[in-house]
Structure 1
Amino acid sequence: MPSIARPADLFDRTTAWRDLADLASTDRPGLRLAVVTGRRRHGKSYLLRRLARATDGLYHQARELDRPLALREFAIDVAAHLDLDPEALRFDDWETAFRVALGLRRGRTPRRTAGAPLLVIDELPYLLVHSPEIPSVLQLLYDEAQDTPDLPATTLVLCGSALSVMRDLLTGARPLRGRAQVELTLHPFDYRTSRAYWDIADPQVAFHVDAILGGTPGYRQLVTAPPPDTVDGLEEWLARQVLNPAGALFNEKSFLLREDPRNLDRSVYHSVLQAVADGNHSPAAIGTAVGRDYNTLKHPLGVLESTGFLTRVDDVLTRRRPLYYVADPIVRFAQVIIDPHRATLEERDPHGAWHAATDAYSSQVVGPHLEHLARVWTARYSGSRWGTSLGVVGPAVVNDPRERRQHEVDVVGLEQGRRPYDETARVVVLGEVKSTNRRRTATDLRRLEHLRDVLSTSGRRAGDANLALFSRSGFDESLMDEAAHRDDVHLVTLDDLYLDHDG
């Protein structure tokens, strides 16, 4: 089969399209399997509908129906694809349904020409609720197809938003384990791609929109007006969109939490999410905030991580208990801004709620998000300014024996090819991030110099580490003058995070 042309209306997703198109266009006989997952509104359905359209494939989106109605809906889609009377096609079981859809007869007889060359089952977890046998049925068809050498090339794509359910399909002794040629997770856009997608000119506006909504492409269709041209219009835009009880984004967090069946004990999960959103990132701090010890927290932390609501970040320098962050900006924004001020917002006083939440927004939304962007920029976009290629980038805690305290370092970059915790790895960059309205001064630089000395004294290869100061409000003249005469000091503004330049 010739290569499949990329749709003109598909924004980004270049790698995802290539992976799926390569699988669907191969001429090798047999049945091939792809498993696609990703959070709600990340564009999975949009992508797969276009793949089906480009290959004359069959796309079926499952719904929350009971088994007979689900089979009926599938039969209607199969009939439409095969140009049959929908009333003439009925399925009593999923094996028959999939055989007809794919044109697979029982036994070793060749495939019928009427079957679809590509079948997409979107939102598969809805079907698994009442039909848990589906993976075993698909295993049967897959293995049967491998024993049919003259079977034309056929592709099956399974897709779903419930991350834990989709990941479980291919683990342990599950029927489909080891059978998927493509396992694809569709992530949100990163902050630069998101800015281009929203077509935002001002980096300050782009930063706030990303801090609030993240890189979920589907949210652009849920707002009734584009983001403002300047930050002066941000409050009014939020009042009419995200903080509006009638808006689609106001209760998005609740919909997201309900989409994964593992999130059953919602009171516990909401408490953990709130604790993390409040700035408690270590298991000990989270446990103190919710009144639980670490052992009883392991399960809810694991569930929230596997379902994509928490991101686990390990210390780059030292093996210690990990740090947890709210993965989805809209969930964090809801925890910090919407939920505490829900009554005021439901009284249609968004400006009053916003003013009351200003400090929390600055410390619990803007601050952590700028730290995240600084790490992403350092790892992906900072170019050759460090004098060598970077490998692992992340946060770290530095023990200071002389001062008998620990220092948190927002950005630590190790030399390329070294693993985290490697005590012999060269520390290439140490960075500190501040999102306050105050300009950064030489005092901030002295702190980083001190941390570099502490690491060097402890035996780390950090003596020539670059020092990076990240600021949303700029730097005073004294610091800029000093940095201009030093090759090891880098001052990074918000504009720099969004600019394409090297060094």
Structure 2
Amino acid sequence: MEKFINRKYELGVLEERFLSERSEMIIIYGRRRVGKTELIQKFLTNVSGIYLLGREESEFDQLRRFSSIIASHFNDDVLLKNHFRSWDALFEYINRESEKRLMLVIDEFPYLLKSSSALPSIIQDYWDNKLRYKKLFLVLCGSSIGMMENLMGYTSPLYGRRTGQLLIKPFRFKDTMKFFPHYDIKEKIQAYTILGGTAAYLSQFSDSICIKENIKCKILRKDNFLFMDPVFILREELDEPRYYFSILKSIANGNTKLGNIVNDVGLPKGIVGKYLSVLIDLHIIEREVPVTEFHPQKTRKGLYKIKDNFFRFWFGSVYPYLESIEQGNMDFVLDKAVNFIERVIPFTYEDICREFLVEINQKNTLPFLFFRAGRWWDGGNEIDIVALNEETKEILFCECKWTEKKVGLKILNELKEKAKLVQWHNQDRKEYFALFSKSGFEADLKDKVLLFDLNDLSEEFEK
């Protein structure tokens, strides 16, 4: 049995609301494979409840299957022999049984809507007139982010009815470390660079073999689900996935500006902009702007990046070489994958360093408390992390170096020169500097700046 990792906050939210005895309608959603069902199943180990899983089948078959599950829960032989013929009958039954606390989970809710488009209206009717006065703890869960967010939107029959929602996000690096207790910190960072924080992907790798062997056996083999999973996910969410594939491949290969993406994929700017917006809505990519920008939506400095590390890896080092894999040129593709990791791992390291800063910021161990942190760039100048406090006008500049060389005074001086270019309260701000290094530091940096190496990151994340 796989180990359940973290999700303490989400479990705490569910427990608090369950114990309140109030009627609740909670919507749980998030990308496929992030661990929504595992979260619900973990909660149900301590709470008696009914778990219904939607399938792509007819309404008649859904109701017959659900009748059997509900009948088994309540030991109802009559229902077992005479199944529900309508959603009204099902919710009328649930209404009668909700005088006491009852948890009802409907997972993969979007599948039900394909055969029963009126279901949200039916739930609205029963919730408004009956269920909200009872003790029902209703959870609607789904992986189609667009459909689940529409369910909460103004035009949905369920608008204003939900009492809470949980967007289940991929694990942070800190949490992914627990999947690989036998790897050292460098190997854990490599694994995160490849797999990101998606629980189902992380569980495929084994820390009993090296990273390269994991790639060969768990991703490049055609019988493993990681080999084509991004394709299946995008085909489930999108009508014309082939154009999205081209855009994602372009971004994975380093084209982050809109103009560069347009030129690379050969599609009109308006079409590319539309597809980028859809990918943002699906939480697959994100538009990043310099942290000091006051109007993020209006700035032309926005850069696009693939938010999901595995999608980045797959579109950068698997998708372009599918024909080579089919032809059996495994070593060639494996070398390409290793080269790709070496190219993108510095960006992953920056993300991890920012996560580290957030951790220690919450513990008040930095010179000041920051409220915003991110990258900064202008023209050809870039600073890996800039952390800000608008109220106190304090600012922290950070450089993150994933190199084999120790970091010395030269890097600090270059960072200080770039800091002068950052237009943010220049006349009266208080500046601090920090350096992160994979390979440690030279002696000339002692006591001049905040210094963090891989051991510092490892110790903090393992607390």
TM-score (norm 2): 0.89
Which residue does the alignment assign to 1:193? Answer: 175
Counterpart contact for 2:26–2:162, Cα < 8 Å: yes
Question: Residues 130-185 of structure 1: CA distance to partner in whole angstroms, max 9, x if unpaired?
Answer: 2121111111111012675xx3x111100011111111111122111122111101
Which residue does the alignment assign to 1:45? Answer: 37
Q: Specify whether residues 459 and 293 from structure 1 end up closer, same or farther in structure 2 by C-alpha distance, changes over 3 A only.
A: farther
CA shift, 1:128, in A, is 1.0
Gaps of at least 5 residues in structure 2 are none
Which residue does the alignment assign to 2:87? Answer: 94
* Code of the aligned partner of 1:55: V
CA shift, 1:497, in A, is 2.3
CA shift, 1:220, in A, is 4.5
What number of residue pairs does the alignment pair up?
454
CA shift, 1:441, in A, is 4.1
Question: Residues 345-373 of structure 1: CA distance to partner in whole angstroms, max 9, x if unpaired?
Answer: 3344433322234332221x312211221
Counterpart contact for 1:33–1:156, Cα < 8 Å: yes
Matches within 5 A, 1:7-46: 10-28=4-22, 31-46=23-38
Q: Does 1:323 align with 2:315?
A: no
Matches within 5 A, 1:24-423: 24-28=18-22, 31-85=23-77, 88-100=81-93, 102=94, 104=95, 111-112=96-97, 117-145=102-130, 148=133, 151=134, 153-223=135-205, 226-228=206-208, 233-260=210-237, 263-292=238-267, 294-318=269-293, 319=295, 320-321=299-300, 322-363=302-343, 365-381=344-360, 384=364, 386-398=366-378, 405-415=379-389, 418=390
CA shift, 1:259, in A, is 3.3
Q: Specify whether residues 191 and 243 from structure 1 end up closer, same or farther in structure 2 by C-alpha distance, changes over 3 A only.
A: same
Which residue does the alignment assign to 1:468? Answer: 434
Counterpart contact for 1:386–1:429, Cα < 8 Å: no
* Code of the aligned partner of 1:19: V
Question: Residues 382-402 of structure 1: CA distance to partner in whole angstroms, max 9, x if unpaired?
Answer: 65454111110111223xxxx
* Code of the aligned partner of 2:242: S
TM-score (norm 1): 0.83
Question: Residues 411-434 of structure 1: CA distance to partner in whole angstroms, max 9, x if unpaired?
Answer: 11001xx3xxxxx87352112233
CA shift, 1:485, in A, is 3.5
CA shift, 1:115, in A, is 8.3
SS in 2 for 1:55: coil
CA shift, 1:275, in A, is 1.8
CA shift, 1:62, in A, is 0.9
SS in 2 for 1:171: coil
Counterpart contact for 1:76–1:89, Cα < 8 Å: no
Q: Distance in 2 between matches of 1:113 and 1:484?
A: 65
SS in 2 for 1:96: helix
Which residue does the alignment assign to 1:484? Answer: 446
- CA RMSD of the aligned region, Å? 2.7
SS in 2 for 1:118: strand
Q: Distance in 2 between matches of 1:427 and 1:461?
A: 12
CA shift, 1:207, in A, is 0.6
CA shift, 1:217, in A, is 2.0
SS in 1 for 2:367: coil
Identity %, equivalent residues: 26
Q: Distance in 2 between matches of 1:349 and 1:169?
A: 46
Matches within 5 A, 1:428-447: 428-447=395-414
CA shift, 1:61, in A, is 0.9
* Code of the aligned partner of 2:254: G
* Code of the aligned partner of 1:144: N
Q: Specify whether residues 113 and 460 from structure 1 end up closer, same or farther in structure 2 by C-alpha distance, changes over 3 A only.
A: closer
Counterpart contact for 2:393–2:425, Cα < 8 Å: no
SS in 2 for 1:155: strand
* Code of the aligned partner of 1:316: V
